[in-house]
Amino acid sequence: MKFIIQRELLLESLQHVMKAISPRVAVPILTGIKIEALPTGIKLTGSDSDISIESFIPKEEDGLVHVEDIETGSIVVQAKYFPEIIRKLPLKTVEISTDDNYQMTVVSGGSEFHLNGQDAMEYPQLPVLHTDNSFEIKHDVMKEMIKQTVFAVSTVETRPILTGVNMKIDNGEMTFVATDSHRLASRSVKLAEDFVHIQFNNIVIPGKSLAELNKIIDESDDSLTISVADNQILFQTKNLYFLSRLLDGKYPETDRLIPEVSKTSVKVKTKTLLQAIDRASLLAKENRNNVVKLETRDNALQISSNTPEVGQVTEDVITDHIDGEQLKISFSAKYMIDALRIIEEDNVIVHFTGAMRPFILYPENNDHILQLILPVRTY
């Protein structure tokens, strides 16, 4: 293998793939970065086995030459040293070559490094994904979907499947659902016409992977291509591949758990309610569930909280309207704040079905978002 490459580009690519590399992995080869010289360009791969990131530097792009003198080949080098070396080299270009004994030589200006590498054949084989079940979605929509659901995944491993986000595609609509069993967040989006044939049900993507993906894709209206294999999912931007293992197991059926009827419906300013809950939660932080109480009044919601050691607080939030039964309900301020924070619309609709049943929130005139919260039972 041999090539000459623009140092800045190599460094940028390295920074991408380094995000997937962890020093503590069970598989020794994963402490390294895989470098492949292909006729079309250079591909770097980093992985901690849960997620893998591939970054591609094309030989030429928009008439600019990034890589020259490519002799194809591949190698795995220690992630601990390689990026630092590239960062500190003196010139704008770097020449990288390897020999048959997996020795890598890095030359830039007068400096020459020799690094011990390993056979790239030792590196995990990432799945080959078929394009017939891939589809596209805009970057910013994907980022929204992640932000609006991933906070609700479970962080405890007692029910591992709930640490992931359930991706469903049916009838041209893609839905993300996340729940830690105390609250649930759901967001859906219509896919472009070309993808109506795509159907998925039990795809569960680890919450951690999505959070990582969100950091990597930029806010733009570029397209992200998503493909699913048996055991991995691939998110692909122009020059970046992000792969994640899936969670193994059956995601619980959540649709039938979402109440369809409402006994008390409220329309209220999102910000006003959020701030009132936030204030009330100040005094609730000492109690275990961070509980605030909500009580319907004629045209207001009374938000209160009481912690004997600290004090108590009451606040009335004027609503646009309240329909239905009177209601007194307690819930975790944290869950409510999380749910309200992701709603950007001015008004939020809340449907209650009793003090012991889940209630749902969604933005006015937007049924793509649904937040569900289980109340706290007081005796």
Partner 1 sequence: MTHGYPKNGRVIFHVDMNSFYASVEMAYNPSLKGKPLAIAGNPEERRGIIVTSSYEARAKGVKTTMPLFQARKLCPELVVLKPNFERYRKASKEMFKLMAEITDLVEPVSIDEGYLDITECGSQGTPLEIANRLQQRLLNELDLPSSIGIAPNKFLAKMASDMKKPLGITVLRKRELNKVLWPLDVAEMHGVGAKTKEKLNQLSIVTIGDLAKADDSQLRRVLGINGVRLIQRANGEDERLVDPDSVFDFKSVGNSETLRQDTIDDTVLFSLLRKLSVKVAMRLKRKGYVGETVQLMIRYHDRKTITRSITVHRPIAEVDDIYGLAIHLFETHWNYDPIRLLGITVQGLVEKQNYQEQLDLFHYKEHLKKEEIQTVIDNLTSKYGYNPFEHKTQISTPHPTSEEPTTSFQKDFLDDYTKDH
Partner 2 sequence: MQRFEELEHVQPVAVRMLKQMITNQRIAHAYLIHGDSGTKKRAIAQTLALRLFCQETDTIEPCLTCRDCKRVISGNYPDLHWIKPDGLSIKKEQIEALQREFTYSGVESNRKVYIIEDADLMTVNAANRLLKFLEEPSQETTAILLTKNQQQLLDTIRSRCQVIALRPLSGQAIEQALIESGVTPENARLFQAVAPQLDQAKALDQDEWFAEARKLMVQLMQLLIDKPEEALLFVEKNWMNHFDDRDKLLMGLDLLLYWFKDLMYLHIGDIEHLVLLSYKDQLEQASLRYRRIDLVNILTAITQAKRKLNQHTHPTLVMEQLTLQMQR
Binding residues (CB under 8 A) for partner 2: these are: 26-30, 49-50, 121-125, 127, 157, 160-161, 163, 206, 230-232, 245-249
Considering CB distances under 5 to 8 angstroms, the limit depending on partner class, which of partner 2, partner 1, none binds residue 254? Answer: partner 1
Residue 92 identity (one-letter amino acid): K
Q: Which of 22, 134, 181, 262 forms a contact with partner 1 (CB under 8 A)?
A: 181
Q: Which is nearer to partner 1, 213 or 317 (CB)?
A: 317
Considering CB distances under 5 to 8 angstroms, the limit depending on partner class, which of partner 2, partner 1, none binds residue 232? Answer: partner 2
Nearest to 247 by CA among 232, 228, 260: 232
Start-to-end CA span in the chain (Å): 71
3-class DSSP state for residue 65? strand
Asked if 309 interacts with partner 1 (CB under 8 A), we say: yes
In angstroms, what is the minimal distance from the CB of 200 to partner 2? Answer: 14
How large is the C-alpha radius of gyration of the chain? 26
3-class DSSP state for residue 149? helix
Q: Which is nearer to partner 1, 18 or 310 (CB)?
A: 310
Q: How far is CA 371 from the centre of its chain?
A: 17
Q: Which is nearer to partner 2, 7 or 208 (CB)?
A: 208
Q: Which is nearer to partner 1, 117 or 358 (CB)?
A: 358
Asked if 43 interacts with partner 1 (CB under 8 A), we say: no
Number of residues lying near partner 1 (CB under 8 A): 36
- The helix or strand, by DSSP H or E, that contains position 366, with its residue range, turns out to be none
Other C-beta atoms closer than 10 Å to the C-beta of 312 total: 13
Q: What is the dihedral of CA 149, 220, 136, 37, to 10 degrees?
A: -110
Asked if 199 interacts with partner 1 (CB under 8 A), we say: no
Considering CB distances under 5 to 8 angstroms, the limit depending on partner class, which of partner 2, partner 1, none binds residue 245? Answer: partner 2
Residue 81 CA to residue 86 CA, distance in Å, equals 9
- The helix or strand, by DSSP H or E, that contains position 113, with its residue range, turns out to be strand 111-118
In angstroms, what is the minimal distance from the CB of 340 to partner 1? Answer: 16
Looking only at residues 233 through 292 of this chain, which bind partner 1 when binding is defined by CB under 8 A? 252, 254, 257, 275, 279, 282-283, 285-289, 291
Q: Which is nearer to partner 1, 167 or 280 (CB)?
A: 280
Residues 6+ apart with CB under 8 A from 213: 142, 146, 235, 242, 244
Residue 335 CA to residue 68 CA, distance in Å, equals 54
* Binding positions for partner 1, rule: CB under 8 A: 179, 181-184, 252, 254, 257, 275, 279, 282-283, 285-289, 291, 308-313, 330, 332, 356-358, 372, 374-379
